[in-house]
Amino acid sequence: MESQESQEPQVHGLEWEELLFGSEPRWTLEPEIAAIKQTVQSLRPSNTVTVTFLTQGGFNKIYNVSIDGEMFIMRVALPVDPRYKTMSEVATMDWVRRITNLPIPRIIAYQPSRYNLIGFEWMLMTKMPGKPFAEVCRFLPFAAKARLVRKIAAISACLFRNQLSGIGNIYGDYSVVEHSTSSEQIPPPIELANTKTSVLAKESGSDDGSAPTRKNSGASLFDLPDGASSEATLPDVGRIVSMKFFWKSHIHQDVHRGPFRSSKDWITACLSFDENDCYSALDKHSGGDLDSDAEEEVENATRTLPIIDKLRSLLPLVLTTDDDDPEPSMIFHHDLSRHNILVDDSGELTGLLDWECVSAVPVWKACNYPTFLEGRPRRSEPNPGRYTPEANGETSETYFENLWEHEATLLRDVFIDEMRNLDAGWMEVFDKSEVKRDFDCAVQECDSVISAKSIDAWIGDISAGISNPRNLHHRMYCLDGLPS
């Protein structure tokens, strides 16, 4: 394994560590509890502020914050996409709260600049009640899970009815640096107006010369005039914030970052990153005398480049555009896993978490099953008696995994039935978009040695104009002949 830390000030504290199956972000600086506590106290002087570490995610460290006995969450972020990621997440959560009745955290204050006492971008938000669905799923009756799925379907229908224009991310009541890749050109952070009374009543100070804190005391980034509909004030779509676009060296590559007018433009940019990675690997190992790891990198790049070329040639065939207007899009939570869904003891939805990198994507991509319902189809209910118990005598974990596959298969039917009842337009997009979804999957998996043969065969069928080609998902998971 090797790691490399960027020396650029904006991303100081972040390194990318090379692991067996790819790279992962790592912290080289640890946020100080004392700095977090002092920051919170600057928002509201209190003698009873306590801060404790809670957990760590892919790009964040998360802390419990108690202010006079009231619980909040402080999330401190690695600078993987400086300023843009924080600013977009705040605006996206605000917009979703505006147009839905979703239980999502309310941002109390946030800092989109790392030049502050903590030394990283951060958000202070309300703490949502409930437990992750993943922790209680096996204890809930199927009827409760079906109710939850119908609620998620209603959310998808609501977001579909609030479509945007173009592909990218939202940043409030204006679009942030639509055509620039330089964070130096980002406009000043959004100042929220019409502040109402909140738990954090004091304006933050900046005696040390650090950037001022942004406070959200109930005012929206998308204020509507009295009597106006949300349709009249749809937010502009700006530069995209996506893991594909900031992962490791991608943040520095000269690739257009949106907003994208069409799916074709967006996918073209995604393929550019994969192509650049391939050529980078070949250049790095062009001198000969390769060890086994280098040989594997060269082999992977050599295998992937022809697939990229074939996918690029399919773009005009699969992702056609009817006019020059920006393509319809919608906000889509791409990581709606069981861990990001909070429920109470009866299975009722209490919160949806993790809105970072949530973009406005083409409707054909968003009109799909939520992430937690994806997976291998399993129509037959597994028999626990056929599974070897765990060493401690408890029921096999493999049984519970297979049981969830079975339940998720049934819940996909529940989801689609509910969508049919809620929105015929959503269903029309879903029914017509299988080839586009397969194409998107092929782009995402184009560098996978496991998926290469399946993708190549699928490309061959599409290029040959075969009607009703075999589903790529089924090919990749060897599911042909199984009911979905």
Cα dihedral 128, 334, 330, 148 sign: negative
Cα dihedral 19, 405, 456, 266 sign: negative
DSSP 7-51: --GGGTTEEEEEETTEEEEEESSPPPHHHHHHHHHHHS--S-EEE
Q: Token digits for 347?
A: 């299975």
Give the pLDDT of residue 221: 53
Q: Residues of 72-82 as b/e, b for ≥16 C-beta within 10 angstroms?
A: bbbbbbbbbbb
- Calculate the CA dihedral of residues 136, 129, 361, 313 and round it to 10 degrees: -30
Specify the 3-state DSSP secondary structure of 108. strand
Helix-helix angle 397-422:142-161, to 10 degrees: 40
Distance CA 103, CA 340 (A): 12
Residue 135 main-chain phi, psi, to 5 deg: -80, -25
Specify the 3-state DSSP secondary structure of 460. helix
Distance CA 73, CA 483 (A): 43
What are the tens digits of pLDDT across the range 238-260? 999 999 999 999 999 999 999 99
> How many residues are present in the chain?
484
Q: What is the pTM for the complete model shown?
A: 0.86
Residue ranges of the chain with per-residue pLDDT less than 50: 1-7, 174-209, 217-219, 222-230, 232, 480-484
For 478, residues 6+ apart whose C-beta sits below 8 A from its C-beta are none
Helix-helix angle 142-161:84-99, to 10 degrees: 100
Distance CA 255, CA 278 (A): 15
Amino acid identity at 449: V
Give the pLDDT of residue 173: 53
